[in-house]
Structure 1
Amino acid sequence: METANLLLVDDNLEHLNLMHEMLKLEDRYKLFKASSGEEALRLLAAEEIQIVLLDVLMPEMDGYEVCRQIRQRYSLAPIQVLMISGLEQRGDLEQLLEYGADDFISKPITPLELSARVRAAVIRLQDHAQYLAGRAAAIGDGRRGRISSLLAENRELRREYQKVRRINEDLERSCQELEMLASLDPLSGLLNRRTLFQRIEIEIERSLRLGLPLTGIMIDIDHFKRVNDNFGHPCGDMVIREIGARLTRSLRKYDYAGRYGGEEFFVLFSNTTSELARSIAERFRKDVEDSAFPWENEMLKLTVSIGISQYIPGESPERWISRADAAMYRAKQRGRNQTEQI
């Protein structure tokens, strides 16, 4: 085996790229990189990897677990696993071997040691291949053919296994996409009412557990009935979609917005006081006021009324939402296109 496919695994991108540059100079290996254990297992399922250089200390799935899964999933494949760590105690090294590591590289990594360890792994792979060939020759022509057949079947089984793995991963992604779609309102693209209330319960529990402020705002499109009456329901649908899109763009990544019903929307601001939520709400209100919404040959001008309420520990979700709703109606009573707080 003059060349080999190497998989480099390290969550530290600087270390990962350093290993890649060291090995690239030898110009005899095909190199793959992964920055997490999960990504490494996906690459192993998709590529014919012979040698894995695996960092021990990684978040979520550490090197021990990755090595264990490699040995479990590819028990018939002679994959060499070289563990990389700053661990130096004898007990630590023994643990690496117990998990199935073939060799160990200590940090900091030097080009000379890295090259030597990888070449040693290549030699072990060559020895293994020669051993299998020798066993086949010793058994004789009839059994040699049988062993060759079994080896071919093993390679084919591994390819089929990789196909099944990819199919399962595709199915899992499809299920996640379906689950996400089931949680969204199809018109606005925001959370639907059921998912919104589930998120409200979660955020209230989190607020109480961590002692963090939680604020909600209720948004209503002013004179929405006139839009439907004057331009038709397709125009009203366009307005709902556009408001939903603008609301999504205006929020932070940890805020949640849902369609409460009709032309009303409710937004959750976790770890946010009513004062900060008000500034975000005002920015959104002004954005809507200053915009024109094209519909056929018309440019529609719209406004929204907004009510704000900060969650009071101990009150029910319904009570909290009703206060935001009451604040929104106060904004309407005072002329619309404004923000009120209760």
Structure 2
Amino acid sequence: MSETQKILIVDDDPIMIRLLEKHLVSAGYSLLKASNGADALQLVTDKGPSLVITDWEMPQMNGIELCRAVRSAEGVGLTYLIILTSHSDKKRVVEAFEAGADDYVAKPFDRGELLARVKAGMRVVEAEADLARRNLEIHKINAELAILNDKLEQIATTDELTGLANRRQAMDRLTEYWETSQRYQQPIACIMIDLDHFKQVNDTYGHDAGDVVLRQMGQLLTRYTRLGDLACRLGGEEFLVLCPHSTVEAGRIVAERLRQNVESVPITIGGKQLKITISLGVAQRTADICSKDDLLKSADRALYQAKHEGRNRVCVSNPDGCRHLVDSMVSGVVRAVATTQTD
């Protein structure tokens, strides 16, 4: 007989215990027995019977008190409670149900009615147990789906090679930071980063070596960016650090720390140590920068200036400085064309 068919009978009358035992055992049920409510409560806690048939009037703890104790006990699963009583007036029946009883059988009881009510109680117990199993399965499935969704979200937002946020995540977070900056009039800065001469690494040592460099770059960015900043890989050798609540000066300090640490950590490839450097451009939201795209463009112009000035340096976005840079480049092109025409 399964655990769901175990019944506890509680009565201080040995004759009633034997009578109940006779009927229930003949119907195929497994029994536990107690002569008072206190012992019955201990058996409910220890053995977990699915159904309890208890007399109303008993010493130490009567049937009503037992019902209340079972319903308030911690760690007790579903227990179907049937009270045997000679009290048939409605007030006493209501009292039994309010104490936690699920059903009652009037004394003297009829064997057929008793077994029918027990069988009905067992159907309730089994239905509840089946529902509990289904809920547990659903909970397990939901937990597995949550873990899977977290993994999918990580895959969708993380650069596989470096472990940094990818371009998609970078743009989503930049949108959030930008909106917060506008709403609360807080500063926001960003740092555009480019690995210097990365193409030469790939051409000389192969793309596997290039991947090693990119992975180390990801580790250094993770280690030396501040808590609250977001380091991202935009693609290839291009990286971005978003610095919410930061001025351009705070961004410059972060950028310079990154530059120094990247330069000071050589990478060993094929038995050779490579010195890797980076160029960085820093920009902050200003009155002239009206969108997040303008902010990125401003940082990109500062990065271009850092490359133009010889790489391995930090340049801060300056509209006038960028204008001078463009003017100097145009002048250089004009001189080159003039020289060519003269030749």
TM-score bracket, normalised by the shorter chain, equals 0.5 to 0.7
> Secondary structure of the equivalent of 1:190?
coil
The answer as to 2:280 corresponding to 1:338 is no
- Among 211, 225, 238, the alignment partner of 1:264 is 238
- Identify which range, 149-158 or 332-341, moves more after superposition: 149-158
| 1:174 aligned onto 2:124 | no
2:163 aligned residue: 189
1:303 shift after superposition: 0.7
Q: Give the corresponding residue for 2:81.
A: 131
- Tell me, in whole angstroms, the C-alpha distance in 1 between the residues paired with 2:226 and 2:82: 59
Q: In structure 2, do the counterparts of structure 1 residues 159 and 122 end up closer, same or farther at CA, with 3 Å as the change threshold?
A: farther
Letter in 2 for 1:177: K
Secondary structure of the equivalent of 1:140? helix
Matched positions, count: 226
State the TM-score, normalized to the length of structure 1: 0.60
Cα distance in 1 for residues equivalent to 2:206 and 2:69: 71
Structure 1 counterpart SS, 2:81: helix
Question: Shift of residue 221 of structure 1?
Answer: 0.5
How far, CA to CA, are the matches of 2:235 and 2:72 in structure 1?
64
Contact conserved, 2:190 with 2:284, CA < 8 A, in 1?
yes
Detail structure 1 runs of 4+ shifted over 4 Å in the superposition.
120-123, 126-130, 136-139
Q: Specify whether residues 130 and 326 from structure 1 end up closer, same or farther in structure 2 by C-alpha distance, changes over 3 A only.
A: closer
Amino acid at match of 2:72: L
Measured after TM superposition, the shift of residue 123 of structure 1 is 5.2
Helix, strand or coil: the match of 1:186? coil
Cα–Cα, structure 1 residues 226 and 211, in superposed 2: closer, same or farther, change >3 Å? same
**2:208 maps to 1:234:** yes
Local SS of the residue matching 1:299: strand
Please state how far the C-alpha of 1:133 moved relative to its aligned partner.
Answer: 6.1
How far 1:136 moved relative to its partner?
6.6
Alignment of 1:323 onto 2:273: no
Q: What pairs with 1:118-157 in structure 2 (closer than 5 Å)?
A: 122=69, 124-125=71-72, 129=79, 131-132=81-82, 135=103, 139-157=113-131
The letter for the 2-side match of 1:324 is A
1:4-42 deviation line (CA, Å, top 9, x unaligned):
xxxxxxxxxxxxxxxxxxxxxxxx9xxxxxxxxxxxxxx
Shift in Å at residue 226 of structure 1?
0.9
**d(CA) in 2 for partners of 1:241, 1:253:** 20
* Matched ranges for 1:154-303 at <5 A: 154-303=128-277
Q: 1:266 to 1:143 in 2, by over 3 A?
A: same
Aligned to 1:116: none
Tell me, in whole angstroms, the C-alpha distance in 2 between the residues paired with 1:319 and 1:121.
Answer: 70
Q: Secondary structure at the match of 1:203?
A: helix
Partner of 2:285: 311
Larger of the two Rg values belongs to structure: 2
Q: Which amino acid aligns with 1:335?
A: G
Question: Aligned-pair RMSD on alpha carbons?
Answer: 2.8
Q: Whole-Å Cα distance in 1 between the matches of residues 70 and 161 of structure 2?
A: 61
Contact 1:136 1:147 survives alignment (8 Å): no
Instruction: Extract unaligned runs of 5+ from structure 1.
Output: 1-27, 29-119
Give yes or no for contact 2:281–2:300 (8 Å, CA) kept in 1: yes
Kindly indicate whether the alpha-carbon contact (under 8 Å) linking 1:136 and 1:144 is maintained by their aligned counterparts in 2: no
Deviations 1:215-263 (A, max 9, x none): 0111111110110011001111121121112212222332122222321
Alignment match, 1:49: none
Change (3 A) 1:294 1:132: farther
The C-alpha deviation readout for 1:35-54, integer Å capped at 9, x for no partner, is xxxxxxxxxxxxxxxxxxxx
State the shift of 1:137 in Å.
5.6
Change (3 A) 1:132 1:305: farther
